[in-house]
């Protein structure tokens, strides 16, 4: 039990399919190497679009991971979810043998859901009328089908639902799962998020918002958080999964522990549908809530994996928020945006970035912010520019902020018994 009477929750498994690799180890190695996942889009012709590139998965074939029928009946976002969760469950060594399936659950989200399926079925409707719409259209489209597929495949009968809060989706899923285990409603929770937005409508929609970088001549340089030359985010795709487990349950089965999860903070900006407030008030309150939840002071935090999208206003707002929360300690911490390499995975971002924070805490090494070449006077903290840095990490914090003013912060610490 923790000092506040809640059960201790540890991370015992990780899974990821990302633009930097289709396993956690490949993803982590490429993060530390400072590799960019951005490249010209291969899925469709982008000649009529303002942006011609994104962070697609590389060397990905669904049937390398799933049976053919299962893959055909899942939108890519659900494929990514199931694959990441399969990896995490295997990594944790979880088995229901001798266990109560009601004590195992899933909270897994997607900000958009089956966008590729919607694009395809809308074309079918326009070409041949409603009779051409697939009977699998709705089950492939809805965001909660990922969590449903995961529980069906593995027999987990405990709490099961999806979160949807734009870019904060996966962090909300992980935070909810944390509370479920803390309060004793489950022993093990599979949680995270996935997204597959690189479609004609997805690219067109974000271009219409003027949210995306247009650095078509050098895609690998386009995602440049906190750099003075940033001009928008780079769209990415993939999925990340985390296994959260009650400590004594994990110890009883001899599980390996990556780290301990100790705090969450959820807030709303109540300000604007896309823009953050000046000073980052919602982000400030979210980070402070996570620290209060963990019962620690700001000076204990060693590393922040920031939201850091490479947008002109967002990076300044988050920098201001960090200064407000951490004071002078903000200049002693290591900060980095792994979006500089993965792009922005939208509803999957919180899970993939939580994995980066967890591994930084486990391995005492900070992944860099790449493409940091021209300092912005308004962004003047240590963003771990361009090269990974070794540093002892006792506490690591991960921020995600979504359209609609949704803010979520996760806080993990190095595990000690």
Angle between helix 115-128 and helix 200-208 axes, rounded to 10 deg: 110
Do the strands 303-305 and 334-336 form a parallel or antiparallel pair, or are they unpaired?
Answer: parallel
344 catalytic per annotation: yes
Catalytic residue among 191, 307, 379, 406: 307
Q: How many CA atoms lie within 13 A of 16 on its CB side?
A: 31
172 catalytic per annotation: no
Cα distances (Å, whole numbers) of residue 190 to 14, 59, 195, 339: 10, 26, 17, 23
In three-state secondary structure terms, 151 is: helix
Structure tokens given for 304: 């922040």
Tell me the C-alpha distance between 177 and 253, whole Å. Answer: 20
In sequence order, the 6+-apart residues with CB closer than 8 A to the CB of 315 are 225, 226, 230, 308, 309, 376, 379
Nearest to 337 by CA among 312, 316, 359, 367: 367
In sequence order, the 6+-apart residues with CB closer than 8 A to the CB of 92 are 12, 13, 188, 243, 245, 255
Nearest to 312 by CA among 363, 278, 350: 278
Cα distances (Å, whole numbers) of residue 252 to 110, 114, 158, 187, 375: 33, 39, 20, 12, 50
Catalytic residue among 55, 167, 191, 379: 167
Number of neighbouring beta carbons within 10 Å of residue 125: 14
Tell me the C-alpha distance between 189 and 201, whole Å. Answer: 33
Structure tokens given for 285: 């309150």
Catalytic residue among 154, 172, 249, 344: 344
271 catalytic per annotation: no
Query: In which region does residue 296 sit, left (phi positive, over 0), alpha (psi from -120 to 50) or beta (all else)?
Result: beta
Active site residues: 167, 307, 344
């Amino acid at each position: 039990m923790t000092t506040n009477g809640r059960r201790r929750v540890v991370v015992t498994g990780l899974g990821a399919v990302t633009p930097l690799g289709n396993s956690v180890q490949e993803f982590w190695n490429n993060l530390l190497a400072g590799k960019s996942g951005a490249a010209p889009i291969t899925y469709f012709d982008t000649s009529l679009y303002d942006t011609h590139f994104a962070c697609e998965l590389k060397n990905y074939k669904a049937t390398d991971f799933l049976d053919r029928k299962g893959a055909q009946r899942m939108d890519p976002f659900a494929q990514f979810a199931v694959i990441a969760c399969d990896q995490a469950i295997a990594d944790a060594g979880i088995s229901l043998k001798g266990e109560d399936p009601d004590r195992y659950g899933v909270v897994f989200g997607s900000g958009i859901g089956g966008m590729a399926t919607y694009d395809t079925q809308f074309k079918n409707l326009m070409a041949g009328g409603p009779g051409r719409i697939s009977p699998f259209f709705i089950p492939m489209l809805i965001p909660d089908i990922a969590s449903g597929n995961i529980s069906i495949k593995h027999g987990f009968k405990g709490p099961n639902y999806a979160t949807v809060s734009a870019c904060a989706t996966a962090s909300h899923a992980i935070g909810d799962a944390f509370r479920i285990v803390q309060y004793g409603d489950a022993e093990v929770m599979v949680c995270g998020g996935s997204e597959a937005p690189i479609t004609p409508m997805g690219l067109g929609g974000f271009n219409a918002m003027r949210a995306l970088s247009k650095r078509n001549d050098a895609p690998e340089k386009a995602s440049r958080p906190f750099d003075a030359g940033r001009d928008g985010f780079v769209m990415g795709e993939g999925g990340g999964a985390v296994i959260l487990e009650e400590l004594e349950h994990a110890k009883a089965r001899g599980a390996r522990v990556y780290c301990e999860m100790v705090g969450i903070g959820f807030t709303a900006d109540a300000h604007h549908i896309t823009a953050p407030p000046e000073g980052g008030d919602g982000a400030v309150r979210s980070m402070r809530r996570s620290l209060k939840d963990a019962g620690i002071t700001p000076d204990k935090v060693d590393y922040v994996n920031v939201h850091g999208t490479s947008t002109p206003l967002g990076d300044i707002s988050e920098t201001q928020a960090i200064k407000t929360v951490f004071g002078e300690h903000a200049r002693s911490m290591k900060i980095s945006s792994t979006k500089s390499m993965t792009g922005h995975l939208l509803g999957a971002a919180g899970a993939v970035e939580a994995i980066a924070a967890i591994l930084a805490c486990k391995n005492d090494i900070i992944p860099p912010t790449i493409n940091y070449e021209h300092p912005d006077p308004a962004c003047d903290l240590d963003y771990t520019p361009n090269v990974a840095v070794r540093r002892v990490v006792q506490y690591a914090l991960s921020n995600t902020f979504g359209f609609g003013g949704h803010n979520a912060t996760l806080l993990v610490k190095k595990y000690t018994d």
